[in-house]
Chains A and B, each alone.
Chain A
């Protein structure tokens, strides 16, 4: 979407509201907000065309802090509200903000359907692996054994991986980023916006109050070289510090970590080269790489193309108008069998 030529230059400040931000000190949501506000002016979209739609949760307070159009809706249903907005006004840039509970527990169904329809929207799922707003119960992404008020002896729910969920729903753009990694997140936000179709980003977010340190090994710059597999299209899947580099190869169809020598190109040593557009089996295999056995992939796991839902809905209307002419109410009311009762 191109900015109209006379549109004024926007800056980060234009996207800040006068409302007090009410997240806890140190909450990962602050950095996401700052990064989104920083990226918005660079997208070439007039400010009035942005709509932020959220469900319920700490993360879902997000729209109140964005000086755009915004709608804080009900728990889990943000994708459905956004669907109505995008279908009726395809020219708007619609951003859905949801949490791991909002998007994957109560709203899992809507998330799946929004993704499979491939609406041209962005979905930001803030994954702090806990219910923040309701004060600390385990969520669908919490690790097995996590002790919370509702799981005093440890959670017995097998967690779901948001990325695999999105891929399974047929997502055309799937990425993962980390709350503290500003430049990476900004790049992901821009890529998500460029993508035509549903762009799903899982944001690893810390909740210092109820689940502090849940992503610590990925947030910490030092350990991140070992724990994160930073994806770049066309580049080999390598991680680790120079001198002690490792890579991902495939052995009998199963991913494996191997040591990579700095003397030779990793590809030549059997390391897989990342391809965002590869068939889904590759993306699923990539998504299956999990801690602690593997580094966790961050970046764009998959990008592909599919027709967008709102464009197809628009086509249905245009087709109906072209084939039958614009609707005429008198004709409709008088269609089929009618008769005249004489006075």
Chain B
């Protein structure tokens, strides 16, 4: 980090110093009506375009519009950008911009010591302080701990928009773009991508107003005495190639659409709206030209059932929801296990049980995914590690589903769903393809609905409309080959075993586990799903300080990779951080008889890097 004096070349203003830094985390916070999510995501897009590595964390309230100015209504968007690889949105922020006292109160404790806090001073008065629960003016105290910068954002925005034919309400609604302009100046970012986006969204005076205030915010930064220094985070050295920003939900949606292309089969998505999964349905519905049919069902039982119906009819059936809806689907999923039809079920997990904290994250549905159906209903479970990984996991889930004729569960979560990261756009040619075949009428003589492939144990996928292959499937126990209903006890046991073996056999398709660090030693940190970023950063930090620690991450939660038991046994201790009360730990302990040390958090928030890092240090101190 060092000060370099190459400020803007424009000589009309005194030159300001520029400080080069490796990484910066900032958080936008305001009322849920203040447009914080848009502001944050536009900043993210711009900074990713510039070439930084980026990780984000949008955090919004469950209420659509809680009373203005209250803590319940605070919406935040955190962006971490860097000149190096980063894995999380950062534990602490360098800068907070708070649009009102409630936003300040809810967020200021996450600002690092001596960090910058920009407030919209127009929004600070006795009444608003009270509404936020402040009895005294917090600013004097905060000035001692932080660099508090007071900007009258509302006034400056109004001044900038004088003369436009807009109501004062409409004018005030533009103020987030003033703030965005200011921050784009502060971090040397181009206004152009935001201007382009605005032009695609708004027209006439509203467009003019947003662009004017964006520029005014930028100009204010250039001229104000309040901000003597701006900051530059140089572009990151990341793997070359084409990039874009992507959220986990968009990646899931595109993975669904891509499956139609890569498997050369039409897709049917049945879903019922639920936070934080609805965006997947929204996004897929925009791409019907990929031969994708979307169906907003009357509830999740119908969503899952319709997708299974579509699978019976020969389409790629998929259904997407979050915890409460996922649970409603379990009976139908059990039927899909029984009739052995391909189906992909996505659960974007959220903090529960019941409605819980619907916009917050958790990994609490693992056991429900593995065991949540009645009886022995074994099926594959996959979990993406990063937002971009959601795309690839979706493709893999469909490949497994059609190859093995089985439902497959994908466990994403609220954190992956809404977080954005720069994503290396895959080369379509390099994406795996699979061909799906259905028996034809030629096979009519020999066709048996439950005759299995000798190696894979998958049954044939014969579809209605094929003459001579008429057959019945259903929930009753079937005979192994004919598929006829039988009530014989041995037959039942044989079928349970066959289905179990079929799923266990999927292990042949699972690649060896990649270990980050030595593949044996003192401590292995094992993770699954969205904890990938925090664990990666924590282990990287620990290794840089010379600690003997490795990281492995599971994408396949059922069946487990064949080499997992062996890997676990090569480490003296295994730490397993999870956003639940130790669900995977319990399974691995039972399966491998290894004393896995569970590290849990169920606060609706992702792990902070420091939490895992501290735990690693503690464990290694104990051992030494």
**Contacts from A to B (Cβ < 8 Å):** 17, 19, 46-49, 51, 53, 56, 63-64, 66-74, 76-77, 79-85, 87-89, 91-92, 109-110, 112-113, 313, 316-317, 319-321, 323-327, 329-330, 332-334, 336-343
Contact = CB atoms under 8 A, between A and B. Distances in A.
A113 B513 CA distance: 47
A329 B313 contact: no
A299 to B, nearest CB: 30
A81 B297 CA distance: 11
Given A83-B295, A339-B48, A53 B472 contact: no
B289 interface: yes
B241 A87 contact: no
A74 B331 contact: yes
A329 B261 contact: yes
B475 A84 contact: no
A84 B317 contact: yes
Nearest to B425: A333
Most buried by A among B48, B298, B464: B464
Contacts of B305: 73-74, 77, 80-81, 83-84, 110
B307 interface: yes
B472 A63 contact: yes
Contacts of B308: 73, 81, 84
B314 interface: yes
8 contacts: A69-B464, A83-B302, A85-B310, A92-B465, A316-B293, A327-B290, A332-B254, A340-B242
Nearest to A107: B301
B346 to A, nearest CB: 16
Contact of A341 (B239, B254, B270, B335): B239
Contacts of A51: 313, 464
Nearest to B290: A327
Given A47-B467, A332-B254, A87 B242 contact: no
A337 B245 contact: yes
Q: Is the contact region of chain B dominated by helix, strand, or loop, or is it mixed?
A: mixed
A259 to B, nearest CB: 47
Given A316-B288, A327-B257, A334-B242, A53 B469 contact: no
Contact of A77 (B51, B332, B471, B485): B332
Given A110-B298, A334-B425, A338-B425, A89 B291 contact: no
Contacts of A74: 305, 331-332, 335, 475
B474 A71 contact: yes
A340 B48 CA distance: 11
B589 interface: no
Contacts of A49: 464-465
Which of A51, A79, A313, A329 neighbours the largest number of chain B CB atoms within 10 Å of its CB?
Answer: A329
A338 B293 contact: no
A71 B245 contact: no
Given A48-B467, A64-B485, A339-B51, 12 more contacts: A47-B470, A69-B464, A69-B471, A71-B309, A71-B472, A80-B301, A81-B309, A88-B293, A89-B314, A317-B291, A317-B293, A334-B242
Interface string B449-479: 0000000000000001111111111111000
B85 to A, nearest CB: 12
Given A332-B287, A340-B242, A48 B469 contact: yes
B472 A84 contact: no
B490 to A, nearest CB: 20
B156 interface: no
Contacts of B466: 48
Nearest to B306: A84
A343 B240 CA distance: 5
B475 A73 contact: yes
A330 B474 contact: no
Nearest to A14: B470
B244 interface: yes
The 3 closest A-B pairs by CB, nearest first: A84-B309, A72-B474, A327-B290
Contacts of B307: 84
Interface in B230-280: 235, 238-245, 254, 257-258, 260-262, 266, 268, 270
B470 A340 contact: no
Contacts of B426: 333
A5 to B, nearest CB: 15
Nearest to B334: A74
A19 B291 CA distance: 38
Given A72-B474, A89-B465, A316-B288, A337 B193 contact: yes
A79 B306 CA distance: 8
B536 to A, nearest CB: 20
Contacts of B287: 320, 327, 332
Contacts of B590: none
A339 B242 contact: yes
Contact of A73 (B235, B297, B298, B335): B335
B292 interface: yes
Contacts of B470: 47-48, 67-70
Interface in B576-601: none
B258 A81 contact: no
B241 A72 contact: no
B51 A324 contact: no
A89 B268 CA distance: 11
A141 to B, nearest CB: 22
A56 B484 CA distance: 17
A56 B49 CA distance: 56
B27 interface: no
B342 to A, nearest CB: 13
Contacts of B243: 338-341
B302 A313 contact: no
A19 B484 contact: yes
A87 B295 contact: yes
B312 interface: yes
Contact of B240 (A83, A317, A341): A341
Interface string B307-346: 1111111110100000000000001100100010000000
A125 to B, nearest CB: 18
B472 A327 contact: no
Nearest to A322: B289
Contacts of B473: 70-72
A317 B292 contact: yes
